[in-house]
Amino acid sequence: MEDNRRVVLLTGANGFVGQNVAPALEANGMIVRQATRKVSPNGNTVTIGTIGAHTDWTEALVGVDTVVHLAARVHHPREEHAADIYRSINTDGTLQLARCAAKAGVSHFVYVSTVLVHGSSTDGRPPLRENDLLMPRGVYGASKAAAEVGLEAMVKDTSMNMTVIRPPLIYGGGARGNFRLLTAAINRGIPLPFGCIHNRRAFLSVANLVSFIVYRLTHQPGKFDIFLVADEEQVSTPEFVRRIEKVLAKKSRMVPLPLFALKALLKISGRSEAYDSVAGSLEIDMSKALKTGWRPPLTLDEGLRNALTLPQFQAR
């Protein structure tokens, strides 16, 4: 605590989500200390270099009451030695930070994981729930799942409380990955081969994610709480495209490409892993998060409007 205000160490502060989280925490009266890899002239920052199994967090954690851990390796699954890199940062780095945080007397550790710890599709199964078995696919999901397992084992021997959040695709101003690729294609009028897709997927506005993080920090946490969090409306991939088109005032051509042909097309383009995220369902049961009393402040349409009409939406 500092001047009776909570001090929050925020990792990944310079990233897409972090740039939305930091001002929201400050707006709620918290002091945000940003952990950065490189020396930064901006505000209350501490340089920690590369996150890994031996990162020294001592200076960064002085006086810190809460840690919000967003930093992670993403978007580079095909790089050489990818599994080792993802494990070093996302698994070993997370566990090292948690160990140091517990030793420093941190009371609440918030870890933003991913829905991909459950796999990449709910086709043929009910919507995901927090107590489902972990069945990750890909190096990213596997590294996050391993971190979750390690955190749960570790927290039992500490006085620290922990919140794990498993979001689906997060969209917003400045988002990278599939959301940026999709909006770019719609803007350019590129035909999209999604006309034969009939799925149902969860999406998450960065504003709604930030809202949930703030809610967890301002309410009594449990010892080890896991939450699946998403926008309340879950829609098909073609419907998600139509909602984006409406905001952008664009009209793309939806090509009715058979699913077997879509799978072959993605394989030829070297993106076989993208099939499930485009054509598969990924439904989430949000009842646990909603039972806490939290509600997503933005609808899907409002979230997309903020994401696509502002250069970078700063969540309320």
Domain that holds residue 220: 7-175+201-232+285-309
Please indicate, yes or no, if residue 212 is contained in any of the structural domains: yes
Successive 10-residue mean pLDDT values, the chain, 316 residues: 83 93 96 84 81 94 97 72 88 98 97 96 96 93 97 95 97 89 92 96 98 96 96 97 95 92 91 89 97 97 92 42
Decide if 267 is inside a domain.
no
Predicted pLDDT of residue 315: 36
The pTM (predicted TM-score) of the whole model is 0.93
The neighbouring-strand residues paired with 43 are none
Nearest to 231 by CA among 141, 315, 297: 297
Q: Catalytic: which of 86, 111, 140, 171?
A: 140
Query: For residue 271, what pLDDT is reported?
Result: 83
Q: Is residue 153 part of a domain?
A: yes
How far is Cα 11 from Cα 126, in angstroms, rounded to an integer?
34
In a domain, residue 291? The reply is yes
Kindly tell me the sign of the dihedral angle through the C-alpha atoms of 165, 171, 173, 174.
Answer: positive
* pLDDT the model gives residue 112: 98
* Location of structure tokens 């050489």: 80
Type of residue numbered 178: N
Range 232-260 burial, b when 16+ CB lie within 10 A, else e: eebbbbbbbbebbbebeeeebebeebeee
Total tally of structural domains belonging to the chain: 1
Residue 36: per-residue pLDDT: 85
Active site includes 140?
A: yes
Report pLDDT for 42: 65
How confident is the model at residue 312, as a pLDDT?
46
Residue 225 sits in a domain whose CATH number is: 3.40.50.720
CB atoms within 10 A of CB 11: 25
